[in-house]
Amino acid sequence: MSKKEPSRWTAEIALQIQFYDLDPMEIVWHGNYVKYLEQARCALLDTIQYNYLAMQASGYTWPVIDLHLRYAHPATFGQRIKVSASIVEWENCLKIAYLIADAATGKRLSKGTTTQVAVNTATREMCFASPAVLFEKLGIDTP
């Protein structure tokens, strides 16, 4: 898949920034952005019917092994944001790209990626290629 092509697998959630997510500078504390990514990731996994319970049932766990976040502009109390999540890699890992934007203007606040790998639940061995169940859920042929 080309970096310029949009992902076939995308989900978007809307959130309003709450007071408890702020730091002493009255902006969202940087660690809370990970929570927003997780919420969008769960919505995305639901769209392919492969959420965390389905992953466990298929015999795999998918721990996050890499996380990148780039902060461009802070989110503030009461602000409405949109968080989109898109699957951008799937053959050897599950890589998801995220965009956090102001809901009213579309202005980018943050972007990031997470990378997850399949781990066989029974053996606790990391898989060096994504298992067939992921390809099935994505509706594509296993390589």
What integer pLDDT is reported at residue 2 of this predicted model? 42
Give dist(CA 109, CA 133) in Å, integer.
34
Residue 142 banded pLDDT, cuts 50, 70, 90: confident
2 in a domain, yes or no? no
Number of independent structural domains in the chain: 1
Residue 19 burial (10 A CB sphere; 0-12, 13-18, 19+): exposed
Express each pLDDT in 24-51 by its tens digit: 999 999 999 999 999 999 999 999 999 9
Which amino acid does the sequence have at 29?
Answer: W
Give dist(CA 82, CA 68) in Å, integer.
18
3 in a domain, yes or no? no
- What is the chain's mean pLDDT, rounded? 95
C-alpha distances out from residue 42 to 24, 39, 60, 95, 96, Å = 29, 5, 16, 14, 11
18 in a domain, yes or no? yes
41 in a domain, yes or no? yes
5 in a domain, yes or no? no
Q: What is the CATH number of the domain that holds 38?
A: 3.10.129.10
Domain extent, residue 43, equals 10-138
Q: What is the mean pLDDT of residues 99-118?
A: 98
143 in a domain, yes or no? no
Express each pLDDT in 74-106 by its tens digit: 999 999 999 999 999 999 999 999 999 999 999
